[in-house]
Chain A
């Protein structure tokens, strides 16, 4: 452990109001800390910025998964374990559980939170592609008030988010599910657990069972752009088309306009481009096979 302990202040307020008041203090910057599974890795390595940290774990206002008329409001402090145990989410939004199951191991899943995952803004995050596919909306609170941001507009660039220094993500809203559809999620990493994505693709595809045309779809990826990304060129290329081989070719072609993979410590641009294309093809084949 390389950090100099006295340089880190950590306080855990009892209420959201108290937390937001501290976050709104212009004289001092308080950085939120939820489960700690990302920030404490940096701390252990000696690279976490020194200063004041706000422990969020007592804020019950940020916990709980609520369903109203088919739509869900997921508290920002919901852990991956919480997601895995929620049968309603498994029915309506199965990709969340698929992502949660592939995040770290049991110990990480017990502490890591959805809000923390979003705010950490890693381009390799595993749950955000599922959130993008499900048209998630974020609820943000500050002393100045509340606002909502469509999650697909939240990440603007590498670690650049539409989140003010005094704002906390409090809830993730998932509107009513699109319909039955076919849900696909595949994460490719070095091993099947405790691995960071080399590339991951999430998709929801609504196929007309008789005509076998794609009525609507959502496709999202990680690790192939500065942030997790919706593949809008792919979606535009496929919407309304018959789900056949020609469509798959068009989709893979369109994918090259949605992604910008790079070489880094985990993988190469070539591998990512190739595997992302294969995942997209697999998603389409699987969707076809499901009707």
Chain B
């Protein structure tokens, strides 16, 4: 058996520099939820198929259930908790989701919102096809996706900080 000891992993999470002492293979999902108490990121499948665990690592969407902790050593991670620009304001994507009914049970929502955020960074005025492709790794069992797509379209038209309705 390898009997691997825990190691120090230096990672910036939502703008805050952290050092976590974890096993190198520990899932980033568990480091976020258990070690850092950031429970916004959800586990839906534990096999990279549903996207509920999606976070941004160095600005790129990844499935945190498939990311070993060592892989984010030196990296910058953004979770759903780090999205809002302030305590009293929401990111325009969050605002649009609330006001267009893009969330029901909410389990897919953190990952879905982060996927939408990174999509809008790459395609500020996405076509329907680009929205479907950009969110294709995020499964939702409640909404039937329609209101999620509408929320993304609406968020694309909002200036940052502008309310959706």
Contacts and interface: CB of A to CB of B under 8 A. Distances in A.
A and B co-occur in one complex? yes
Contacts of A1: 27, 30, 46, 65
B2 A106 contact: no
B24 interface: yes
Given A1-B27, A8-B25, A37-B66, A107 B2 contact: no
Contact of A44 (B27, B119, B136): B27
Interface in A93-137: 101, 104-108, 110-111
Interface residues of B, number: 37
Contacts of A192: 136
Instruction: With a 10 A CB-CB cut-off, give which of A3, A5, A43 has the most chain B CB atoms.
Output: A5
B3 A107 contact: no
Contact of B137 (A3, A43, A52, A107): A107
Interface stretch (B48-56, B98-106, B148-156): B48-56
Contacts of A12: 70-71, 73
A53 interface: yes
A8 B138 CA distance: 29
A8 B2 contact: yes
Interface of B: 1-5, 23-27, 30, 46-49, 51, 54, 60-63, 65-68, 70-71, 73, 115, 118-119, 133-134, 136-139
Given A50-B2, A106-B133, A194-B137, 5 more contacts: A9-B3, A40-B66, A106-B119, A108-B63, A108-B137
Interface of A: 1, 3, 5-12, 33, 36-37, 40-41, 43-45, 50-53, 55, 57, 81, 101, 104-108, 110-111, 192-194
